Structure 1
Amino acid sequence: MTSTIARRRPLLAVLVFAIALLMATSACGASSAAAPGASAVKEIAVTIAGRKVTPPPGRVDVTKGQTVRITVTSDVADVAHVHGFDKAANLQPGTPAKIEFVADQSGLFEVETHGTGLQLCQLLVR
């Protein structure tokens, strides 16, 4: 009987390892699926050069509760502002400025510059 147990010991070790690996893998999937509102950061990059906004201003869909990160690079000093969330960043020529916040309210929100009055985009939060 001892010889039978000794022969099966490597098989048992592999089985225990496989079960542990399966449990760890399924736990990772469950935690990310179970986190409500867990979604990737919405990255928006805008460049201003010669009073031209690139990409051209448009609507950007955002999920309510999602983190939004807006990066603005301008050729002139100004202030970029997200209306409704009262978030702003000072723009210095050639230096990327970031505005980051959680979109915790639904609606349509303008993102613009104050000095030059340029619309950068609209955030449609649903």
Structure 2
Amino acid sequence: MTSPLARRRPLLAALMLGVTLLMAVACGSPTAAPGASTVKEITVTIAGRQVTPPPGRIDVAKGQTVRITVTGDAVDEAHVHGYDKAADLKPGVPATIEFVADQDGLFEVETHESKLQLCQLVVR
């Protein structure tokens, strides 16, 4: 005679597989299709003409959404060259630039008035 637990094992295994697959789809699995990447978050602070973190190159996957948040201590404009995206900066107020990186290349992100480089985006 087969125990009740033994009869339920295939059902439990199928249920666990279903839950695992559902979690992978809902949370994004590492084997997700290209272009299904997450948002690239970049946060920059400007204080006393000092940029934090220090300007550097940031790799971005082509097709990925980029969200750049800049908080400065002076009125200015942050600009992403090549994409012609900009945001007005007001002292102490975070400003956000968001776009899809759909062009390959190296793109400067800087302020216009103070001419500070915030970072360089490397899109490939």
Normalized against structure 1, the TM-score is what? 0.83
- Aligned partner of 1:16 in structure 2 is 11
Of Structure 1 and Structure 2, the greater helix share is in 1
* Equivalent of residue 86 in structure 2, options 85, 88, 93: 88
Please name the residue that 1:55 is paired with.
Answer: 53
* Matched position secondary structure for 2:13: helix
| Larger radius of gyration between Structure 1 and Structure 2 | 1
Counterpart selection for 2:107 from 103, 106, 109 = 109
- Counterpart of 1:74 in structure 2 is 72
Q: Which amino acid aligns with 1:23?
A: G
Deviations along 1:83-111, one digit per CA (max 9) or x if unpaired, are 11111111110111111111111000010
Question: Within 2, Cα distance between the matches of 1:85 and 1:121?
Answer: 14
Give the aligned CA root-mean-square deviation in angstroms.
Answer: 2.0
CA shift, 1:27, in A, is 5.2
Q: How many angstroms does 1:16 deviate by?
A: 0.5
* Amino acid across the alignment from 1:65: G
Aligned length: 121
**Cα distance in 2, alignment partners of residues 36 and 24 from structure 1:** 24
Task: Specify the SS of the correspondent of 1:116.
Answer: coil
SS at structure 1 position matched to 2:96: strand
Matched position secondary structure for 2:91: coil
> 28-37 or 115-124: which moved more?
28-37
Pairwise CA distance, 1:64: 0.8
Q: Normalising to structure 2: TM-score of the pair?
A: 0.84
Structure 1 unaligned regions, length at least 5:
none
Aligned partners of 1:26 and 1:111: how far apart in 2? 40
* Distance across 1 between alignment mates of 2:3 and 2:60: 56
Instruction: Name the % identity.
Output: 64
Question: Which runs of 5 or more residues in structure 2 are unaligned?
Answer: none
Q: Deviation per CA, 1:42-98, whole angstroms, max 9, x where unpaired?
A: 121111111121222111111111111111010001110111111111111011111
